[in-house]
């Protein structure tokens, strides 16, 4: 089958566990925790060296210098890699010197932001569709928190 971005996963954490708590804003600008997924607070830019990669390393995703999000298939060292999906977005050359683009999670959605830096976002260039409405399963509020992540499978 063709690879796809998964945006329906979640990480459950409970009170009392030694689990990391992530915020929705960009609080971790360093290396991502895993090359196989992107979690809330993590970003990918056109300059990011470690791309979002499938576990078998046949597929990878990243941003082009003009802010297009692409998913590619690694065809091996003797062939050119194939683009299998694109956001079909770009930042006009007149804006590239003033703005940068950032790919991240915003709640349960994948979003391609544009701005001077991550603290001064000016526009959304692309976003994935919102997930369907899911009723809160924990009606007693036992401290279980669901965090979303995206992976390339």
Those residues whose C-beta lies under 8 Å from the C-beta of residue 27, and which sit 6 or more positions away, are 41
Percent of the chain having pLDDT more than 90?
35
Tell me which CATH code domain 5-130+142-152 carries: 2.90.10.10
Distance CA 87, CA 89 (A): 5
Predicted model pTM: 0.69
For 114-145, the pLDDT digits (tens) are 988 888 888 899 999 988 876 555 555 566 66
The 3-state DSSP class for residue 93 equals: helix
Question: Where exactly are the structural domains of the chain?
Answer: 5-130+142-152
């Amino acid at each position: 089958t063709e690879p796809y971005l998964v945006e329906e996963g979640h990480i459950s954490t409970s009170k009392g566990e030694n689990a990391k708590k992530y915020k929705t804003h960009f609080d971790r600008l360093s290396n991502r925790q895993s090359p196989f997924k992107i979690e809330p607070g993590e970003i990918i830019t056109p300059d990011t060296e470690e791309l979002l990669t499938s576990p078998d390393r046949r597929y990878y995703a990243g941003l082009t210098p003009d802010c297009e999000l692409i998913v590619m298939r690694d065809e091996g060292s003797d062939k050119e890699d194939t683009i299998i999906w694109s956001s079909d977005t770009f930042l006009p050359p007149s804006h590239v010197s003033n703005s940068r683009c950032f790919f991240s999670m915003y709640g349960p959605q994948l979003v391609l932001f544009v701005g001077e830096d991550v603290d001064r976002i000016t526009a959304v260039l692309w976003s994935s569709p919102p997930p369907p409405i899911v009723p809160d399963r924990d009606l007693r509020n036992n401290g279980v928190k669901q965090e979303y992540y995206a992976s390339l499978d």
